């Protein structure tokens, strides 16, 4: 396609641009009547390195009439249809959350809530400790992490953090039910879904306070439905990153649930403190790699200082106990990257803790440091976006596995900085990153299933593949373009000189391009809530 747009649409107020690769002028036409509602001249941006496209920009920011539209160029090209409207991401916000329900493990998904994607109960057999197989434990529940059936503590903590902070900052955005079994119980469905994962995390903690790194089979399951996966499950050894992540997210949960379910909040805080105590008695980094022959996700890390800092910050906020202030300062002093909200580099979550600190419990200098770092990094990302014809905050060498997560997390950074600074430029940057994810990219795909006329629809996801010709569940986020693919199909099909933004295929075998995972969805939970909350 020669016209790339946000295939979902645009808010009436705020920046609105589309990318054309041919022509000099454009018309914005009404869907149905084909009447011209707006027209203009394309601004030539020149050759864009990341896409290899000769980019021309249509800026229609000043057009704010709600409706359904499409573009035509004087080169004869026609775009997908899209909308301009308020509450633009209301449905998307619900669907990216509902996607977590489809990932539930340890239970059946009923047709009442899952429709044609219903399946029987799965993965309820006890798991054996990998190093002591005679020790078995019930760790049923939680979410399947990605296109596989593994469940990983650090990945879980990351996704939960994005979602729980989204509730802390924008609680009113979660009043509408999303149609899951718990809907209507008086608790926001965002928290209902988080609690399903948290109940599983409780099971991953050992008596001494430490936390297992993951529970998986020794090798990934075949492409079968989850209830058909009968492989033995193993609990992989505890790690200091998993234990610190557990402490942090449980303390955060205690804060979130304090006025909703005091008993649950107390249980979460007690578990967090127990994990913290174990961590402090085990100051050396601990992580055990997969044994030979095991191919499930490692979620390997090389440092736990950022995880420990996040745990200290959240425990300080949850308890008000200044005994956590000194460890917080100590661990933060050892962290250089403070602006990432991922499963490996997690210190950015301390910044979210600072932002949620309404009682001013955290040290003032900590807040100042994070605001400075957030602003400085946003300036870097603004330069990246300005250098790209598609206005995405990625460097040419950053189209790697999960590049869409990088885009979404940088949009989160713009969002949290905007929450402190209140400058329109930050919101416009977020809109541009959402535009990229939803279709304004050189691959021409909306990277969210079910959203857009040309949305990706063949994710690397075992249930989807096993169901064959059924439609894919809505609301899942693809990993995105990857100029260094490592799966056989993508390596074969993508030519070596392909521009990085075009290194994408909607083929389920291409797991290094097209897998889904919980922590690629969770940033969009945060971002859609932010945008709906701040729309004019």
HSE-up (13 A, CA, CB side) for residue 498 = 21
Distance CA 171, CA 168 (A): 6
506 flagged as catalytic: yes
Of 27, 48, 95, 148, the catalytic one is 148
What separation in angstroms does the CA of 441 have from each of 95, 259, 383, 391, 438? 22, 43, 18, 9, 8
Of 199, 280, 398, 506, the catalytic one is 506
Segment 353-357 long-range contacts (CB within 8 Å, at least 24 positions apart): 353/252, 353/310, 353/313, 353/314, 353/317, 354/313, 355/169, 355/416, 355/419, 355/420, 356/165, 356/168, 356/169, 356/255, 356/317, 357/317
Distance CA 488, CA 490 (A): 6
Q: Is the CB of residue 445 less than 8 Å from the CB of residue 458?
A: no
DSSP conformational letter for 486: -
Of 123, 162, 220, 460, the catalytic one is 460
Of 245, 306, 515, 532, the catalytic one is 515
**Among 200, 153, 214, which residue's Cα sits nearest to residue 346?**
153
148 flagged as catalytic: yes
460 flagged as catalytic: yes
Residue 95 has φ and ψ, to the nearest 5°, of: -75, -35
Strand partners, 46: 55
**Among 105, 107, 106, 3, which residue's Cα sits nearest to residue 57?**
3
Strand 127-129 relative to strand 136-137, pairing? antiparallel
Distance CA 489, CA 31 (A): 38
Distance CA 359, CA 322 (A): 13
Distance CA 239, CA 204 (A): 12
132 flagged as catalytic: no
Residue 71 has φ and ψ, to the nearest 5°, of: -105, 150
Catalytic residues: 148, 460, 506, 515
């Amino acid at each position: 396609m020669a016209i790339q747009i946000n295939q979902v649409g645009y808010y009436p107020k705020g920046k609105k641009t589309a990318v054309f690769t041919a022509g000099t002028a454009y018309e914005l036409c009404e869907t149905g009547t084909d009447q011209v509602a707006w027209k203009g001249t394309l601004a030539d941006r020149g050759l864009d390195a990341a896409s290899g496209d000769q980019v021309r920009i249509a800026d229609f920011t000043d057009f704010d009439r709600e409706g359904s539209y499409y573009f035509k160029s004087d080169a004869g090209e026609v775009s997908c249809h899209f909308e301009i409207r308020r509450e633009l991401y209301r449905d998307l916000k619900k669907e990216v959350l509902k996607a977590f329900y489809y990932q539930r493990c340890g239970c059946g998904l009923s047709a009442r809530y899952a429709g044609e994607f219903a399946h029987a109960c799965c993965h309820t057999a006890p798991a054996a400790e990998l190093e002591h197989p005679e020790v078995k434990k019930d760790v049923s529940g939680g979410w399947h992490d990605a296109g596989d059936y593994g469940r990983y503590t650090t990945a879980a903590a990351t996704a939960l953090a994005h979602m729980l902070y989204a509730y802390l900052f924008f609680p009113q955005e979660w009043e509408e039910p999303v149609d899951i079994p718990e809907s209507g119980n008086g608790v926001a469905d965002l928290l209902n879904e988080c609690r399903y994962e948290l109940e599983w995390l409780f099971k991953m903690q050992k008596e001494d306070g430490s936390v297992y790194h993951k529970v998986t089979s020794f090798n990934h399951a075949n492409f079968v439905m989850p209830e058909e996966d009968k492989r033995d499950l193993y609990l992989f050894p505890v790690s200091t990153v998993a234990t610190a992540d557990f402490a942090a997210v449980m303390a955060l949960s205690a804060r979130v649930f304090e006025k909703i379910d005091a008993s649950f909040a107390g249980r979460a805080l007690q578990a967090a403190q127990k994990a913290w105590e174990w961590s402090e008695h085990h100051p050396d980094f601990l992580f055990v790699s997969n044994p030979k022959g095991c191919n499930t996700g490692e979620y390997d890390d090389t440092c736990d200082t950022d995880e420990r800092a996040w745990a200290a910050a959240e425990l300080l906020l949850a308890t008000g106990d200044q005994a956590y202030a000194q460890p917080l300062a100590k661990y933060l002093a050892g962290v250089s990257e403070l602006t990432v909200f991922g499963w490996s580099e997690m210190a950015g979550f301390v910044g979210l803790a600072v932002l949620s600190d309404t009682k001013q419990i955290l040290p003032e200098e900590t807040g100042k440091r994070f605001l400075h770092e957030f602003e400085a990094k946003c300036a870097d990302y603004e330069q990246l976006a300005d250098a790209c014809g598609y206005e995405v905050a990625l460097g040419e060498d950053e189209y790697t596995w999960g590049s869409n997560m990088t885009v979404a997390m940088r949009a989160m950074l713009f969002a949290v900085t905007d929450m402190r600074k209140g400058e329109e430029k930050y919101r416009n940057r977020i809109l541009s990153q959402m535009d990229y994810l939803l279709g304004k990219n050189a691959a021409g795909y909306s990277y969210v299933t079910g959203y857009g006329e040309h949305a990706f629809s063949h994710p690397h996801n075992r249930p989807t593949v096993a169901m064959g010709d059924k439609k894919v569940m809505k609301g899942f986020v693809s990993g995105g373009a990857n100029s260094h693919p490592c799966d056989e199909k993508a390596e074969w099909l993508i030519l070596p000189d392909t521009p990085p933004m075009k290194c994408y295929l909607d083929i389920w075998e291409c797991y290094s391009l097209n897998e889904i995972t919980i922590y690629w969805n969770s940033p969009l939970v945060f971002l859609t809530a932010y945008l709906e909350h701040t729309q004019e």
